[in-house]
Amino acid sequence: MDLQTWTYIIVGITFALYIGIAIWSRAGSTKEFYVAGGEISPLANGMATAADWMSAASFISMAGIISFDGYDGAVYLMGWTGGYVLLALLLAPYLRKFGKFTVPDFIGERYYSNTARTVAVICALVVSFTYVAGQMRGVGLVFSKFLEVDINTGVIIGMIIVLFYATLGGMKGITYTQVAQYCVLIFAFMVPAIFISIQMTGNPVPQLGMGGKVLGTDTYLLDKLNGLSTDLGFSVYTNGTKSMVDVFAITLALMVGTAGLPHVIVRFFTVKRVKDARKSAGYALVLIAILYTTAPAIAVFAKTNLIETVNGKEYSSMPAWFTKWETTGLLEFEDKNGDGKIQYYNDNSKDAAFLASQEAKGNKGSELTIDKDIMVLANPEIADLPNWVIALVAAGALAAALSTAAGLLLVISASVSHDIIKKMINPNISEKNELWAARGAAAVAVIIAGYFGINPPGFVAAVVALAFGLAAASLFPAIILGIFDKKMNKEGAIAGMITGLLLMLFYMLKFKFGLFDGGKDAVAGLKESWWFGISPEGFGTIAMIVNFAVAFAVKSFTPAPPQDVQDIVEHIRIPSGAGEATH
C-alpha cells in the first residue's frame, strides 16, 4: 500500500477517534467545560497532561533542533523537563488547593483586584496565542507533506477538527481526547526510533543505541557523527557553541516559563483532590520522560542518516522523499557550482583553511537548505522504513500539535468567558450563557490561531520558546509570590507583571523580529548587540528578575494585603488533613 493511502487511513482513524470521544464526553456545564467537572482520575489526567505538555515543539521541533545544534539543543531538554518538575512540586498542589478554574482567576482572587485579573488575562492571552502559533504551524507542516495539500489548507483542516472537539467537549472532551492523543503520539515517536536504532546499532533501545557502536564496526555512533560534523566544517556535535550565560538563561526561562503556562496549570484542577494532583503530576513526568529521553537519539540517527544520504551525492539519484520535501519548500537544493552533486557544508565556518579547501574543490557554498522542523517527520523516510511507520509519524505529529492547541484554546476561551465576562462584566450571567460565551470565545480563538498558523513568525520550537519566555517574564513571579509571600500586595504584583511582559515583548520585537532595526533581514546582525549576551529565547530570565525586583520595590511602599488574604495564603500551604499537627 502506498504512503498516501496509509496516511489517509491512519490519520482518518485517529481523527474519527478524537471526534467520537468529543461527542461522547461533551460538556453540559461550565465546570465540565473549564475543569472537566473535577472528576478525572490521576492516571488519565497524567496522560492528558503529558499530551497537553508535549506539543508540536516537543514532537516535531525539539529533535530537529538537537540534530542541527547538537549539545546546544540540550537547553530545551533541560529547561522543559526541569520546568515540569518545578511545576509539579512547587506550584500545582497549592494552586489546586486554592481551587480556582484559571490562572487569571487565581491572580485576581489572590491579589484582591480586577486590575490584577485583567493584567493576568492579557498575559495569558499573549502567552497562549504565541504558543498556539507554533502548534498551528506544526499542523500545516504535516498536512502539506503527508496529505499533499498546501500548508494553508492543512491549517484550516486542523482548525476545524480542534474547533469541533474543543467547543463541544470543553475540558472534559479535551481531557479524554488527549488521553487518546498521548497513546498515538508516543507510539508514533517510539516505533521509528526503535526501528532505526536496530538498523544502525543493533540495539532496540534508542537511548542505549545512541551511545552504542555502529553495527558491524568498532566506532561509536556519536564519534562517527562528530567526525561527519567536523568534516563538513561544523563544530563537534557533542560540544556546545553557546555561551554558558545564554545556556543558563534559556534553560531557566524555559523552566520557570513552564511553571507559568496557563494551559498546563489548569490540568491540575481537573482531579478530585490535592493528593490526586500530585499523583497525576508524577504519572505525567514518567510519560513525558519517555519522549524526552528518546529525542536526542532520534536527533543523532536523523542527522547521521541525512549527511550520509545527501552529501556529495548526485542530485538525480536522490530518493523520492527528497523531492517530495522539496515541493513543500522546507528543503531546497541550489546547484551553485553546476556539478549536479549536493554539496552540504558550513559555508559560515570561521575556519579559513576549511573554506579554502572547499573553494579548491570548486565548491561555491553550501547547496542544501533544510528546515529544522522536518527532521523528525522525514526521519523514517530517510531510513527507508515501511510506509505505515511514516504515516504513523504523521498521525503522531498531528496528535501532539492538536492536543496542545486544544488546551491553549480552552485557556483563551476561559480567560474571556470566565475571567472577563463572568468576573468583571456580568457577574449575574447564567451558566448556560456563560457556556455559550466560552464556546464563542473558543471559536474566535481558533480563527486567530489559524491566522498565526498561516503566517507563522518562525519555526515551531523558536516560537514556543518565546511563549515560555513571556510566561516566565509575566505570570510566574505573580504565581510564586502569591503562594509563598503572604505580604505581596496587588500593587507589587501588577507592576511586576506589566514591567516583565513589556520588557520581554520589546526584546522579542527588537532582536527576534528586527522591528526597530530594519526588519527580519537585520536580525542576524543584531546578535552582537544582545543584552548581556543573552538570546531572545533566554531573555525571559532577565525579564523575570526585573519583574521580581519591581514587585518587591513597589510592595515596600504600598499597603500590605488584607488580613483575610494573608490567611488564605497561609492556609493553601498547609497540607490537607494536617489538622492540629500543623500548630
Residue 335 lies in a domain: yes
315 and 203 share one domain: no
464: which residues sit within 8 A by CB, 6+ positions away?
A: 55, 56, 57, 61, 131, 134
Partnered with residue 314 across adjacent β-strands are: 341
16 and 94 share a domain? yes
Based on the fold, state whether residues 490 and 455 are members of the same structural domain.
yes
Question: Do the domain assignments include residue 196?
Answer: yes
Write the CA distances from 320 to 299, 324, 363, 384, 424, integer angstroms.
21, 6, 25, 10, 57
Nearest to 377 by CA among 152, 145, 204, 182: 145
Residue with cell 478554574: 101
Alpha-carbon distance of 375 to 207, in angstroms, equals 18
Rg of the chain over all Cα atoms, to the nearest angstrom:
24
Q: Does 467 lie in the same domain as 347?
A: no
Within a 10 A sphere around the Cβ of 323, how many other Cβ atoms? Answer: 12
Per-residue pLDDT, averaged over 258-286, amounts to 80
**Is a pLDDT exceeding 60 seen at residue 578?**
no
For residue 392, how many C-alpha atoms fall within 13 Å in the half-sphere facing its CB?
18
317, 334, 368 — which closes off a domain? 368
The pLDDT assigned to 498 comes to 95
Residue 380 maps to a domain: no
Query: Which of 414, 418, 422, 417 lies closest to 437, judged by CA?
Result: 417
Residues 423 and 302 in one domain: yes
Q: Which one, of 204, 222, 183, lies nearest residue 66 by Cα?
A: 222
Cα–Cα distance, 397 to 64 (Å, whole number): 13
Asked whether residue 342 falls in the same domain as residue 356, the answer is yes
For residue 75, what are the contacts with CB-CB under 8 A and spacing of at least 6?
242, 247, 250, 251, 254
Check whether 505 has a pLDDT greater than 50.
Answer: yes
| Number of domains the chain contains | 2
From 91, 92, 117, select the one nearest 106 (Cα to Cα).
117
On whether both 48 and 165 belong to a single domain, the answer is yes
The parent domain of residue 342 ranges over 308-368
- 318 lies in some domain: yes
> Considering the domain boundaries, does residue 236 fall inside one?
yes
Residue 548 has pLDDT above 90, yes or no: yes
Q: Are residues 300 and 328 in the same domain?
A: no
- With beta carbons less than 8 A apart as the criterion, state whether 258 and 18 touch: no
| 251 & 127 share domain | yes
Q: Is the pLDDT of residue 379 over 80?
A: yes
Within a domain: 267: yes
The predicted model gives 500-521 an average pLDDT of 79
Q: What is the CATH number for 130?
A: 1.20.1730.10
Whether residue 202 lies inside any domain: the answer is: yes
Last residue of a domain, one of 319, 342, 368: 368
Q: What is the DSSP letter of 534?
A: -
Q: Provide the pLDDT for residue 478.
A: 93
Grid cell digits, residue 337: 557550482
Whether residues 64 and 82 fall in one domain? yes
Does residue 275 sit within a domain?
yes
Q: Lowest mean pLDDT of 16-25, 115-124, 376-385, 494-503, name the range.
A: 16-25
Given a cut of 50, is residue 372 above it in pLDDT? yes
Considering the domain architecture, whether residues 521 and 490 belong to the same structural domain is answered as yes
* Pair (349, 284) in one structural domain: no
Q: What average pLDDT does range 376-392 have in this prediction?
A: 87
Contacts of 230 (CB under 8 A, 6+ apart): 236
